[in-house]
Structure 1
Amino acid sequence: MSTDKRLPTLGEVLFVLIAFVSIMFLFVVQFEIPIQLALLTTWFVIMIVGLRIGYSYAEMQQGILKGITDGLEAVLILICVGALIGTWIAGGIVPSIIYYGLSIIHPSIFLLAAFIICAITSLATGTSFGSAGTAGIAMMGIGISFGFPVALVAGAVISGCYVGDKLSPLSDTTVMTASLSKVNVIEHIKSMLFVSGPAFVIAGILFLITGFFFIDSSGTIEQAEATMASLNDFFQINWYMLIPAAIVIALLILKKPSIPVILFGALLGSIWAYLFQDVALLDAIKGLYSGNSIDSGVDFIDNLLNRGGIVFMLDVIALILFALGVGGLMEQTGILKVICIKLLSWADNAGKTTISTILAGFFGNFFGGAAYVSVITASKITEENYDRLNIDRRILSRNTEAGGTVTTPMVPWSDGGVFMATTLGVSTIAYLPFLWFNFLVIAISILYGFTNKFIWYTKPEEKTEEQDSERALP
């Protein structure tokens, strides 16, 4: 085979993109074939184009392996969080959080409380996955007990979880984005506050108003009391059930490595299950792999609490590996580069540049299947335009988070989308309309771009007096 290689034409890129969307629709919607097979089939479509433009199979395999390697940390975290979910349920940690939450949170403010609690947890720990797998599951239990639709509760939970994922200095995507954009991580966070602050306040108000007008408090109190009674029947509920959660959060706040800390928390869950929940020692250890299993006779409690364990994440892991492979193939064969060139030629001002970065991040999630891929595509595909237009790289890093991090749970086959849907028991399409914080971050970022508000430049002498006054961060 000839070693001459070329970039794919726009027609070949469009063929891949259309084929990707068509395969997803036919496999998942039309024939209900597992999405993992749809992604695997997409590999071969991209390989056909790769062979046509001069790549050997060995070269494309290297692209697949690189794509998977780039996202392996997320896979390892998924494994650890799966183990933690199972043992924290069996050990009474999550049931205790649900029980105490039902006793102190009023139904009318529940959505706001769920949003804020998950935001605080994610800010303190730096992980949206860990926050959803612990506080998120507890908030789902409380919300369902109050009679809220599961999709609405999931929207509040995920919105809160991604506050910390994009803002916390402990978050891997926050640090990675700052590094890729060549911006100090604290300056990166300060820049994001101009977007995330208003988005957080507006989303909080929306969740508060929705909670006030959505439910009948008298009816939900009865449901909550029934749930509390059922939890009391099957778990020992006490304040010291919360100790493992406090330890894990404290260790993460102290910037200890996420993977060993989460695994240590999972082990504590097994110990608590043995010591306080009358679970046999061997079964408590097995729970790390197999998760929790109870038969309470209450359907929603069984559906909520019969989950977790490493085995709970195996389908998710397979899906993410195939999605990462798609991203690696697109990178290796130049498909993403062609998209980059088109975006660069179109974006000639701050507003268009903002949109191009957000689109590049979304493409990374849509075709690469992982937040790690999305922040790479968003920052590297569009960084040239920021330098050409003399736009401060803090805007690049801020927009990268808006296009990469917060769009991750919006894509059903991305690592974030699959994890949230699996962990919370709600499909991505169902909770998507309620990701109010995420959508607000995107909308406010675009608004700033086209109004030139909070857009800073590296050459202030070439800008207007008004822009000069806005350049310096407070």
Structure 2
Amino acid sequence: MTEQYRLPTIGEILFVLVSFIIVMFSFIVLFELPIQLALLVAWFLIMLVGLKIGYSYQQMQTGLLKGVNDGLEAVLVLISVGALIGTWIAGGIVPSIIYYGLSVINPVVFLLAAFVITTITSIATGTSFGSVGTAGIAMMGIGASFGFPLPLVAGAVISGAYVGDKVSPLSDTTVMTASLSQVELIEHIKGMLPVTIPAWIIAALLFTGAGFLYTPEDGDLSVAYNTMASLEEHFTIGWYMLIPAILVICLLAMKKPSIPVILFGALLGSLWSFFFQGHTFLDSINILYAGNSIDSGVDFIDNLLNRGGIVFMLDVIVLIIFALGVGGLMERIGILEALGDALAKWANTVGRVSASTMVSGFFGNLFGGAAYVSLITASKITEANYDKMNLDRRLLSRNTEVGGTLTTPMVPWSDGGVFMATALGVSTMSYLPFLWFHFLAIAIALFYAYTNRFTFQSKKQLKKLTPIQEEEL
């Protein structure tokens, strides 16, 4: 039987994209309905177009399931990190980090410290989720005690966490980007450094400057002291509380698989809650699933530490599955391919082809809901143009990482956006203006592309192209 389907037209693509945005806005802002339902409605909008252009439901279901399957690793990481958060709070690991942080970190340099600490953690572990779910939560507690606005603290935490997610050889997105772009891993990381280093330095200066705006007189330090007293009252605090964190970071730094290592860390947290925090054995095991529960009488402590467990991530997991389904459907009925064809006609300079890759990555997050989807859309939609223009694939991998990985926490319904908001207790739109490292990296990458700096052209393409040559491309 001959297959009778075609690529969607620009009009049909616009119908899907505009309808998607209208549905998301209506459900979230106007009706205050769960975002999961909005994504489910988006499935049917895409299927309507698919049926019109000749796809059967079975064909579209295959694409939907493929999209979900491609992102299942992220779901497993979320389950693991959820268990880790709960047991590390109950086991006293996170409370001890908060306690010692309050005692040694000066409020003036706190934002810089939060940025640096999450940077180091993410480079050492290769996971932004794990860095935010552990060190990040501790930094939120310290920042709140010092009187910093939580969205600003979240911006520093997420900015640092994504440094490692972008350049660490242990990061799954870094490895995936190099693989999709057909670039050796170390070469990909080297290609990222001209963007990452200046963006990190400028972001560090900005967070330092923001910290000086909050002197000890500006922040209510009595909250910090009360927090320390409350933590001592409800948890056993000691240096040995940090052993699980040190072990997990070391194992990840030794390139051990992230999911079993995170789950091992969660189990250590359960054991710490049993041996050191007074939980019964059954309760310490149940925390893996149900999360931590504390009634300290201090609203700040309760809001910060009543979280974690696999249950804590269930809404996020459902959302990500629906978002992955959207990406799978759009790929199956040819929307991504048609967008790639349209971009190819416009992207005829180094600057434009770089911008098109970043836009494709952002679209992957916007309509696919996951970093994995964004990396695929960014690299596969635009890779032919790099070869056509004789550009080194390291430029493709860099632009893919910048447009895909870094824009993930900017989208409220992407896996990164939902996890960051859930784990830190700050909405995506609230912390978005403070993702200074992300915006700087995007701006610097575009600056390089449009000024032909660090574009890794082959030797015969190093000379500037004439307008006629650019037109021929």
> Which residue matches 2:462?
463
* 3-state SS of 2:295 partner: coil
Q: Deviations over 1:346-371 (max 9, x none)?
A: 01111111110000000000000100
Q: Which amino acid aligns with 1:243?
A: I
TM-superposed deviation, 1:457: 1.1
Root-mean-square deviation (Å): 1.2
1-structure distance, mates of 2:370, 2:218: 43
TM-superposed deviation, 1:219: 4.5
1:413 matched to 2:413? The reply is yes
2-structure distance, mates of 1:424, 1:112: 18
Aligned residues: 465
Q: Which amino acid aligns with 1:146?
A: F
Q: Deviations over 1:72-101 (max 9, x none)?
A: 000000000000000000000000000000
Q: Which amino acid aligns with 1:94?
A: V
> Which residue matches 1:201?
201
> Which residue matches 2:360?
360
Give structure 1 stretches of 5+ with no counterpart: 467-474
> Which residue matches 2:311?
311
TM-superposed deviation, 1:2: 8.1
| Equivalent residues in 2 for 1:28-427, closer than 5 Å | 28-217=28-217, 219-427=219-427
* 3-state SS of 1:214 partner: coil
Note closer, same or farther for the CA distance 1:25–1:462 as it changes in structure 2 (3 Å cut).
closer
TM-superposed deviation, 1:105: 0.4
Q: Which amino acid aligns with 2:74?
A: A
Note closer, same or farther for the CA distance 1:465–1:336 as it changes in structure 2 (3 Å cut).
closer
> Which residue matches 1:27?
27
Normalising by structure 2, we get a TM-score of: 0.97
Provide the identity percentage.
69
TM-superposed deviation, 1:222: 2.2
TM-superposed deviation, 1:456: 1.4
Q: Which amino acid aligns with 1:196?
A: T
Note closer, same or farther for the CA distance 1:465–1:420 as it changes in structure 2 (3 Å cut).
closer
Asked if 1 retains the 8 angstrom alpha-carbon contact of 2:390 and 2:461, the reply is no
TM-superposed deviation, 1:395: 0.5
Asked if 1 retains the 8 angstrom alpha-carbon contact of 2:147 and 2:218, the reply is no
2-structure distance, mates of 1:335, 1:125: 36
Normalising by structure 1, we get a TM-score of: 0.97
1-structure distance, mates of 2:259, 2:312: 17
Q: Deviations over 1:126-185 (max 9, x none)?
A: 000000000000000000000001100000000000000001000000000001101010
Note closer, same or farther for the CA distance 1:462–1:372 as it changes in structure 2 (3 Å cut).
closer
2-structure distance, mates of 1:275, 1:437: 40
My pick for the range that moved more, 220-229 or 428-437, is 220-229
> Which residue matches 1:472?
none
Q: Which amino acid aligns with 1:145?
A: S
* 3-state SS of 1:341 partner: helix
Q: Deviations over 1:287-317 (max 9, x none)?
A: 0000000011111111110000000000000
Note closer, same or farther for the CA distance 1:272–1:394 as it changes in structure 2 (3 Å cut).
same
Give structure 2 stretches of 5+ with no counterpart: 466-473
Q: Which amino acid aligns with 1:28?
A: I
Runs of 4+ displaced beyond 4 Å:
none
Asked if 2 retains the 8 angstrom alpha-carbon contact of 1:148 and 1:215, the reply is no
1-structure distance, mates of 2:30, 2:249: 43
* 3-state SS of 1:355 partner: helix
Note closer, same or farther for the CA distance 1:2–1:200 as it changes in structure 2 (3 Å cut).
same
Asked if 2 retains the 8 angstrom alpha-carbon contact of 1:199 and 1:444, the reply is yes
Q: Deviations over 1:318-373 (max 9, x none)?
A: 00000000000000000111111111110111111111000000000000010011
